Amino acid sequence: MTPQPARRNEQSRRAILTAALELLTEAGYSAVTIEAIAARAGVGKQTIYRWWRGKGAVILDALADNVPEVLALPDTGDLRADLRQVLRATVAEFADPRLSATTRAITIETLADDELADQVRDRLLRPQLNAVRTRLEVAREAGQVRPDAPLDQVVELLFGPLYHRWLLRNGPLTDDYADGIVDLTLAAITPPCTCLGI
Amino acid sequence: MTPQPARRNEQSRRAILTAALELLTEAGYSAVTIEAIAARAGVGKQTIYRWWRGKGAVILDALADNVPEVLALPDTGDLRADLRQVLRATVAEFADPRLSATTRAITIETLADDELADQVRDRLLRPQLNAVRTRLEVAREAGQVRPDAPLDQVVELLFGPLYHRWLLRNGPLTDDYADGIVDLTLAAITPPCTCLGI
Amino acid sequence: MTPQPARRNEQSRRAILTAALELLTEAGYSAVTIEAIAARAGVGKQTIYRWWRGKGAVILDALADNVPEVLALPDTGDLRADLRQVLRATVAEFADPRLSATTRAITIETLADDELADQVRDRLLRPQLNAVRTRLEVAREAGQVRPDAPLDQVVELLFGPLYHRWLLRNGPLTDDYADGIVDLTLAAITPPCTCLGI
Amino acid sequence: MTPQPARRNEQSRRAILTAALELLTEAGYSAVTIEAIAARAGVGKQTIYRWWRGKGAVILDALADNVPEVLALPDTGDLRADLRQVLRATVAEFADPRLSATTRAITIETLADDELADQVRDRLLRPQLNAVRTRLEVAREAGQVRPDAPLDQVVELLFGPLYHRWLLRNGPLTDDYADGIVDLTLAAITPPCTCLGI
DNA sequence: ACGTAAGCGAGACGGTACGTCCTGTCTTCAC
DNA sequence: GTGAAGACAGGACGTACCGTCTCGCTTACGT
């Protein structure tokens, strides 16, 4: 009844994930149907339904599989430079139609399926955010960040605006914008003025 | 050929928008189909297609119609208190299943339709953001905000994290969280330390 | 909810019935699927399901529509000759691959669906049998048939063996066979020997 | 490659045939699928395909295996009584839902598979018909039947109408009907009136 | 006696068809 | 002459079986 992972055909699995990504980047979200994925992958629909809950789960796996990106942040000692680099990379990702299409797709699926949303958070989002958080912890210990700064919120202070602007198109999403967000955020968490040793 | 707005049946229009909202809050996004809306509104499908581009446009109109909320921000003189109130209201909105459902729905539609996205930005998002921006301008003139603060980015610094957390479920979305974001943002834009009159 | 026959598209109806018959005669029973019928007829599957209960009902209609054959039997005055002609025609029908295919198909459907079986009996079978029965009644009044002959059973005595042999392939189905059945049947219902006027 | 009958698992064979019959009588023809048979028999699907050509072959074997009925006809000396008994038994078989279901099923399979049809004729039908034919031959030698009667056709004259009526539901299938058919048939083959020694 | 080749239960696989649902267009009828 | 009602072509959904194909496991030969 329940499928046995041991017997799973790795070749089919890869073909399915690849087909999903290709459809997404070549023909857009609306072209990503289970039937199209199955046809392009040369696979029976049942093979998809046997291993995934639906379209969203396939897309998630495709992303998690094909995008096991760099999770370690640069640490040049210059926090501002490091954060700018990360946020500029994120801007570039949003600007790339291919990468953007996958993000758009997984976001749609996320919005319509709570269970999927949890998995996206844990498998795609958290690792990225944690990498930034770790860099901030290092900076805090180096005295570059106020010791009482709520780092989780700070991380979202960095990414939230980018995501917001991408999603809602409230203005251009440029490197300058990313730099501006970094500057604002750093202004918020830089140790208070200590002139006169007060 | 082209519909003449003058002849439009206001009763049908209201029934359609109401039906869309009810379906959304009662049965969830997946239950919102043109057929269901038409059936519940006691309307022919053609009447919907005649006046709207599709499901997304109907939902947008439904929101813009039924949620002509307060756009004027409070101005108690206390910027921190005012912003906290606004962000707490936003948190409350995200927490309310009904309001949240509509936001979720319009976000999905937005992601799949660029033209709709522009309208959502102009008709729903911008007014809200501009209200906050206006309040910040007042504060800047009152010297409570650094004169060089990029207010558009500051607004997004406030709402971005909330939206991000709601969308991606990266932690609880509480009043405390909203307060924390306000505090961080204010720390970023408060005039620099001027001890000793420097 | 329930479809309104008044709005039915006659063109689609004919296309569907034609497609079903063509598939049946060209590619055989196993090729007759709802999908294939819809595709060949250039019709949505729903249009088939809206008006028919399933494949069997379509085939029945196709037959009843395209085969409104001669229901009047010849009456040359020679009962034996008339019956031979009818049974030979039946044999020819069974021998024709095209007609045979449709009969085979409707028989399969009949066996799997009681409701359909009733309709086949009433719309296809009964008229044919009644025509023969009517001829027998004429003969009976003419004194060519024993007055106490159970005509319904006699009719089945004529067709039953043909059907039986066709279905179960118990020997060749030829004109001679048909003639033999007619002769046997007539032997059974010819008025008793009245030599000597007894 | 070709399976070796010597190694065949008799236990599985019986389980498969039993499962097929049970499904047929308990859940109807549409429930008889290779998958269901395999599942109920606790057997792999391949074990079925290794030994049978398909569903029809399994059903045929199940019938031939579990219904090796009496093939010898009674011979009380009274031909009419003997034939009535046989035809009444046939009527009873058609009336029994369980037996009827199997007959229905094998008939469907027969109609869609010529090779199977031949086997059904040889293994199920012929023995039964031949038994009746043998009885008729005895009667012919005893002078109870015209010497020129075509016995094969006579046998079909007996069974054809029953089969016809069962299949096409053209009226009730009762003992009276069976008796009527026997009477008609006997009327057809009884030696001609020989009054006056003509 | 022991390896090896078969049959076996199990079930994943590429497919086909099912019957349902929805889309966006087109048609009809009643007001 | 508009608009409700809904039929239409099309196409994706998720399910059920098909017949084939591996898997390990057991079982019975043949050396």
Q: The domain that contains B58 carries what CATH number?
A: 1.10.10.60
Mean pLDDT of D137-148: 95
Which residues does D21 contact at the CB level (< 8 Å), separation at least 6? D62, D63, D66, D102
The pLDDT, as a whole number, for residue A2 is 85
Using alpha carbons, select from D182, D163, D183 the residue that is nearest to residue D173: D163
Q: Say if residue A71's pLDDT is above 70.
A: no
Tokens of C159: 């067709």
Same domain, B96 and B187: yes
Contacts of A161 (CB under 8 A, 6+ apart): A181, B153, B156, B157, B160, B161
User: Are C124 and C27 contained in the same domain?
Assistant: no
The alpha-carbon radius of gyration of chain C (Å, integer) is 20
pLDDT for position B67 = 64
Q: Assign residue C25 a region: left if phi > 0, alpha if psi is -120 to 50, beta otherwise?
A: alpha
Look at residue D180 and tell me whether its pLDDT is greater than 80: yes
Give the CA distances from residue A49 to residues A43, A44, A110, B198, in Å, rounded to whole numbers and listed in that order. Answer: 11, 9, 18, 68
Which chain B positions have a beta carbon within 8 Å of A104's beta carbon?
Answer: 111-112
HSE-up (13 A, CA, CB side) for residue C158:
31
Say yes or no for a CB contact (<8 Å) between A167 and B167: yes
Buried b (16+ CB within 10 A) or exposed e, D83-93: bbbbbbebbeb
Q: Return the higher-pLDDT residue of D73 and C189.
A: C189
Task: Spell out a b/e string for C99-111, using b for 16 or more CB atoms within 10 Å of the CB, else e.
Answer: eebbbbbbbbbbb
Can you give the distance from the CA of residue B50 to the C1' of nucleotide F7 in angstroms?
18
Contacts of C53 (CB under 8 A, 6+ apart): C115, C116
Structure tokens at C184: 């046997």
Q: What angle do CA B161, B163, B164 make, to 5 degrees?
A: 60
The residues in B 65-94 lying below 8 A from A, measured between CB atoms, are none
Average pLDDT value for chain C: 92
Do A152 and A185 lie in a common domain?
yes
- Cα A166 to Cα B41: distance, rounded to the nearest angstrom: 35
D71 located within any domain:
no
In a domain, C73, yes or no: no
At residue C198, the pLDDT reads 45
> Of B168, B185, B194, B196, which to mutate for an interface test with A (greatest number of A Cβ within 10 Å)?
B168
Average pLDDT over residues C62-79: 80
Q: What CATH number does residue D155 fall under?
A: 1.10.357.10
A193 and B193: CB-CB below 8 Å?
Answer: yes
**pLDDT for A82-92, tens place per residue?**
999 999 999 99
Of C168, C67, C163, C64, the residue nearest C116 (C-alpha): C64
Same domain, B155 and B95: yes
Evaluated on CA atoms D72, D78, D82, D87, the torsion sign reads positive
Domain boundary among A66, A89, A106: A66
Lowest mean pLDDT of A105-114, C114-123, D65-74, D110-119, name the range: D65-74
Residue B173 sits at φ, ψ, to 5 deg, of -110, 90
Most distant pair of Cα atoms in chain A: their distance: 73
The residue-averaged pLDDT of D151-161 equals 98
Give residue A121's pLDDT band: very low, low, confident or very high (50, 70, 90).
very high
Predicted local distance difference test score (pLDDT) of residue D198: 46
One domain for residues D59 and D98:
no
Residue of A nearest to B170 (CA): A121
Residues B125 and B151 in one domain: yes
CB-based contact B137:B130 (threshold 8 Å): no
- DSSP letter at C96 equals S
Tell me which DSSP letter residue C122 carries. Answer: I
Q: Give the tens place of pLDDT for each residue, A146-194.
A: 999 999 999 999 999 999 999 999 999 999 999 999 999 999 998 776 5
Does residue A31 sit at the B interface (CB-CB below 8 Å)?
no
- Same domain as D107, residue D38: no
Give chain A positions within 8 Å (CB) of B118: 169
Burial (CB < 10 A; 0-12, 13-18, 19+), residue C26, is exposed
Same domain (yes/no): D111, D162: yes
Q: d(Cα B80, Cα B86) in Å, to the nearest integer?
A: 10
Note the pLDDT of residue C49.
97
Digit-coded pLDDT (tens) for C126-182: 999 999 999 999 999 999 999 999 999 999 999 999 999 999 999 999 999 999 999
Nearest CA to C61 out of C107, C20, C100, C11 is that of C20
Which nucleotides of strand F lie under 7 Å from a protein CB?
2-23, 28-29
Q: Is residue C71 part of a domain?
A: no
Percent of chain C with pLDDT over 90: 86
> Which residues, including other chains, have CB under 8 Å from residue B172's CB and lie 6 or more apart?
none
CB-CB contact of D109 with D60 (8 Å): yes
How far away is chain B from the Cα of A104, in angstroms, using its nearest Cα?
Answer: 6
| Same domain, yes or no: D104 and D156 | yes
Q: Are residue B59 and residue B84 in the same domain, yes or no?
A: no
Distance D44 CA to E2 C1' (A): 29
Burial of B99 (0-12, 13-18, 19+ CB in 10 A): middle
Nearest-Cα distance to chain C for D145, in Å, is 13
- Number of domains, chain A: 2
CA separation for the pair D132, D187 (Å, rounded): 17
- The tokens for D4 are 């070796």
Q: Which residues of chain B have pLDDT under 50?
A: 196-198
pLDDT at site A198: 44
Residue D4, SS3 per DSSP: coil
Question: What residues of chain A lie within 8 A of the CB of B164, using their CB?
Answer: 156, 159-160, 163-164
Asked whether the beta carbons of residue D188 and residue C192 sit closer than 8 angstroms, the reply is no
DSSP C77: S
Which residues span the domain enclosing D99?
A: 79-197
Phi, psi of C114 (to 5 degrees): -60, -45
Q: How far is the CA of D5 from the C1' of F28 (A)?
A: 14
Which tokens go with D25?
A: 């009588």
Does A29 touch chain B if contact means CB atoms closer than 8 Å?
A: yes
Q: What share of chain C is helix, strand, coil (3-state, %, to 5)?
A: 75, 0, 25
Q: Check whether residue C12 and residue C109 sit in a common domain.
A: no
pLDDT at position C2 is: 83
Residue C72 lies in a domain: no
Nucleotides of E under 7 A from a protein CB: 6-29
Within-domain flag for D100? yes
Boundary of a domain, candidates D66, D89, D110: D66
CB burial class (10 A; 0-12, 13-18, 19+) of residue D30? exposed
The reported pLDDT for the residue numbered A193 is 62
Residue A153's nearest CA partner among A185, A182, A123, A180 is A185
Of C180, C110, B160, which is closest to residue A181 (Cα–Cα)? Answer: B160
Confidence of residue D74 (pLDDT cuts 50, 70, 90): confident
Tell me, what's the pLDDT at C4?
82
- Per the CB < 8 Å rule, is B120 touching A168? yes
DSSP state letters, D128-178 = HHHHHHHHHHHHHHTTSS-TT--HHHHHHHHHHHHHHHHHH--S---HHHH
Six token digits for residue D54: 């398909």
Q: What is the pLDDT of residue B125?
A: 92
What residues of A are in contact with residue B192 (Cβ under 8 Å)?
193
The single-letter code of the amino acid at B72 is: A
Q: Are residues B61 and B138 in the same domain?
A: no
- In this complex, the residue with its CA at the shortest distance from the C1' of nucleotide E24 is B49
Distance CA B118, CA B122 (A): 6
- Answer whether C157 sits within 8 Å of D160, measured CB to CB: yes
Tell me which residue of D132, D31, D30, D48 sits closest to D87, measured CA to CA: D132
pLDDT score, position C73 = 80
Angle at B99 between CA B98 and CA B105, to 5 degrees: 95
SS3 B128: helix
Q: How far is the first Cα of chain D from the last one, in angstroms, to the nearest whole number?
A: 70
Is residue A72, in this structure, part of any structural domain at all?
Answer: no
- The spacing between the Cα labelled CA in C44 and the C1' in F11, in angstroms, equals 9
Instruction: Tell me, yes or no, whether B72 lies in a domain.
Output: no
